[in-house]
């Protein structure tokens, strides 16, 4: 197996993200690979379909600022420099694929909550990333903390 050189880690910034970071750290050390972190925020207009008669841009900016702060804290665990920390606005699976291509990542690491039933039927970010990636994808099974 060829070694990995560039790893993109997609985080949802939940408490379980530490489990994904731990696995990413193990793999990056084993292959002496460069790690980039990404968190994708869906625009509020996607979630509410423009049905709210108010400007959500300030709220969206606050969400992005908070995400940058949380991602920065997560990055400290693996010594990931600021230029490899990405907070992106868009659809998660699509943006992770785009960023992986842009960074020429050869491995994407994401968390999988292992949901069943309706969540499986509707799909998930992990499933979307897995089925559209141009490189290897590792779905780390996370346990509720």
- Pair 11, 20: CB distance under 8 Å: yes
pLDDT of residue 26: 97
Statement: residue 58 has pLDDT above 90: no
Q: pLDDT by residue (tens digit) across 33-53? A: 999 999 999 887 655 555 555
pLDDT of residue 120: 45
Q: pLDDT by residue (tens digit) across 65-123? A: 999 999 999 999 999 999 999 999 999 999 999 999 999 999 999 988 655 544 444 34
The CATH number of domain 6-141 is 3.40.50.620? yes
Domain residue ranges in the chain = 6-141
- Pair 127, 116: CB distance under 8 Å: no
The pTM of this model reads 0.86
Burial-class residue 130 by CB neighbours within 10 Å (0-12, 13-18, 19+): middle
pLDDT of residue 44: 73
pLDDT of residue 121: 41
């Amino acid at each position: 197996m060829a070694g990995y050189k560039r790893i993109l880690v997609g985080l949802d910034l939940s408490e379980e993200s530490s489990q994904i970071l731990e696995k990413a750290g193990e793999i990056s050390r084993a292959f002496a690979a460069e790690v980039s972190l990404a968190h994708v925020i869906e625009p509020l207009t996607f979630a509410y379909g423009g049905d709210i008669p108010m400007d959500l841009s300030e709220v969206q900016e606050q969400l992005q600022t908070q995400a940058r702060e949380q991602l920065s804290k997560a990055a400290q665990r693996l010594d990931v420099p600021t230029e490899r920390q990405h907070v992106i606005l868009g659809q998660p699976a699509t943006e992770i694929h785009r960023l992986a291509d842009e960074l020429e990542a050869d491995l994407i690491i994401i968390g999988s909550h292992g949901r069943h039933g309706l969540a499986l039927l509707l799909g998930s970010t992990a499933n979307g990333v897995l089925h559209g990636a141009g490189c290897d994808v590792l779905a780390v099974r996370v346990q509720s903390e």
